[in-house]
Amino acid sequence: MKIRHALLVLLAPALLAACTQQPDTAATPAASADAPQGTEQVAPAAGGESGEITPDADNGAPAEPVPDADADATEAETPAAPTPAPAVQPPAGPAPQAGKDYVEISGGQPFAATPGRIEVAEVFAYWCGHCAAFEPLVNAWKAKQPADVHFVAVPAVFNDADSFPRAFYAAETMGVLDRTHDATFNAIHIQRRLPPNASLDAIVDFYGTLGVDTAQLRSTMQSFAVNASMGRARAFGVRSGIDRTPTLVVAGKYRVTGGGSLDDTLRIADHLVAMERAAH
């Protein structure tokens, strides 16, 4: 949390701008730190067996009732009530204006349509300082969304020489994105352990310090699945008219273009989500 707060403070003077291209300047990464320790889940202990009580043959006392094992098992297996989803709140502030705060994308489509849910896609770049400042705000915003909102992060594929989108999809495929995503932003913009135009080898080495299998990572980066994801991300960016990061796209139909601050960008997105919800 302290790192995220520091990130906002350092980047606050530039929050109104956006990134349009990957920087050419490189910084030498610092020595890598030890990989963080993971957490281990412990399975609940199994319940003990219950014995039967039989009648006393000498005094003829009646047997005590034998517990109904099936009833006990049914009661024990009854799932806990699910945590209720956040309630739908009306968006704050004035309604956004078409052509000023957002544009309607002709023939636009969601990146990964999910039936019954409204997609909010963030097109981002790890090397973009404004995306780094946006990340903690987006994380807090996501936590407050109702169940019908589906957030998806889409790396901007502006340049084939940019290895970060490939690293993002490799980490996602390997199931380690929660370990690498925020850490990559921090390594570039706070810790200076990675340059904004880091090579594939430098990224692999850094992910190794996070406990990621580097041999598997290299292989996954060149896999068919990652190449396909890269193609989808590039097509989505072109179709949606993305020319800077961060950019939000709601339901594949609306590209947020206005907002006097990063918080205001999310406010506009809230209105567009409400508009899409009302339409259905």
> In the chain, where are the structural domains located?
2-11+100-279
Q: Which residue has the tokens 């297996």?
A: 77
Is residue 16 predicted with pLDDT exceeding 70?
A: no
Banded model confidence at residue 227, pLDDT cuts 50, 70, 90: very high
pLDDT value of residue 91 = 81
What would the mean pLDDT of 248-273 be, rounded to a whole number? Answer: 94
Banded model confidence at residue 213, pLDDT cuts 50, 70, 90: very high
- How far from 264 is each of 9, 123, 156, 159, 226, CA to CA, in Å? 18, 17, 22, 29, 33
Q: For residue 247, what are the β-bridge partners?
A: 123
Q: Considering only residues 97 and 86, tell me which one the structure prediction assigns the higher pLDDT.
A: 97
Q: Considering only residues 104 and 67, tell me which one the structure prediction assigns the higher pLDDT.
A: 104
Residues 6+ apart with CB under 8 A from 41: none
pTM: 0.73
Alpha-carbon distance of 183 to 131, in angstroms, equals 13
pLDDT value of residue 80 = 58
Name the E strands within 216-277. Answer: 247-250, 254-256
CB 155, CB 279: distance < 8 Å: no
Is residue 15 predicted with pLDDT exceeding 90?
A: no
Is residue 145 predicted with pLDDT exceeding 60?
A: yes
What would the mean pLDDT of 21-46 be, rounded to a whole number? Answer: 44
Is residue 224 predicted with pLDDT exceeding 90?
A: yes
Q: Is the bond leading into 136 cis (omega within 30 degrees of zero)?
A: no
Q: For residue 257, which amino acid is it?
A: T
pLDDT value of residue 89 = 75
Is residue 154 predicted with pLDDT exceeding 60?
A: yes
pLDDT value of residue 276 = 95
Is residue 39 predicted with pLDDT exceeding 60?
A: no
Q: Considering only residues 39 and 156, tell me which one the structure prediction assigns the higher pLDDT.
A: 156
pLDDT value of residue 87 = 65
What percentage of the chain exceeds 90 in pLDDT?
64
Q: Considering only residues 68 and 239, tell me which one the structure prediction assigns the higher pLDDT.
A: 239
Q: For residue 241, what are the β-bridge partners?
A: none
Q: What is the CATH number of domain 2-11+100-279?
A: 3.40.30.10
Alpha-carbon distance of 155 to 167, in angstroms, equals 10
What would the mean pLDDT of 137-166 be, rounded to a whole number? Answer: 96
pLDDT value of residue 22 = 82
What would the mean pLDDT of 112-134 be, rounded to a whole number? Answer: 96
Average pLDDT value over all residues in the chain? 80
Alpha-carbon distance of 197 to 242, in angstroms, equals 20
